[in-house]
Amino acid sequence: MNLTKEEYNEMTKKASPPSPAAKNITMAFLIGGLICAVGQVLIFAYQNAGMDSELAAGAASITLVFLSVLLTGLNSYDNIAKVAGAGTLVPITGFANSVAAPALEFKSEGFILGLGAKMFIIAGPVIVYGVSASIIYGLIVYLFGLY
């Protein structure tokens, strides 16, 4: 076969169908939006039950995390995510799923080296770089005295 890696790369690109972007973006918008709307309804409900807005927001987040983990445990979350894509990934529910899924999966290797060690294989980098970014942001705010 007389062809370079570059030529083959071009052939591969032509032969490989792209992800259905229009469908994926629409579903992500609808289902992601729906999850956020549910979150807002929960905040209103908790406020009506007498919580202040900060406490209500925290309680709504906890409720969404609980629902996400529950659906992950019931083997449903991945089926919803297959259609919703970024719609289920971006909200807090996606983060909860990314911790619950490996916890379930690696339980077979024991609670320490399996569940405990592997629980954050997906969420770990998000935490590491999220915290790191917060520190840098904090330093910038401190140095420039923006508040």
Partner 1 sequence: MAQRRGRYTVVLDNPPSIRAAATVGSKKESEGPLGGMFDIINKDSYFGQTSWEKAESQMQSIAVSKALEKAGLQNTDVDFIFAGDLLNQCIGSTYGLRELGIPYVGLFGACSTMAESLCVASTFIEGGVAQTAVACTSSHFCTAERQFRFPLEYGGQRTPTAQWTATASGAAVLQNGDVPPFVRAITVGTIEDLGVTDANNMGAAMAPAAAMTIKHFFEDTGKKPEEFDLIITGDLGKVGSSLLADLLRRDGIDLGDRQSDCGLLLYDMEKQDVHAGGSGCGCSASVLCGHLLPQMREGKLRNILFIATGALMSPTVVQQGESIASIAHLVCLSTQKSGGVF
Residues making contact with partner 1 (CB under 8 A): 1-3, 5, 8-9, 11-12, 15-20, 24, 72-73, 75, 77-78, 80-82, 84-85, 88-89, 94, 97-98, 100-102, 104-106, 108, 122
Shortest Å, Cβ 126 to partner 1: 13
Shortest Å, Cβ 121 to partner 1: 8
Nearer CB in complex with partner 1: 56/88? 88
Nearest to 68 by CA among 117, 27, 101: 101
| Cα distance between residue 43 and residue 72, in whole Å | 23
| Cα distance between residue 78 and residue 86, in whole Å | 12
Nearer CB in complex with partner 1: 43/94? 94
- Tell me which residue has tokens 């992800």: 19
Shortest Å, Cβ 130 to partner 1: 19
Q: Is 118 exposed, middle or buried (0-12, 13-18, 19+ CB in 10 A)?
A: middle
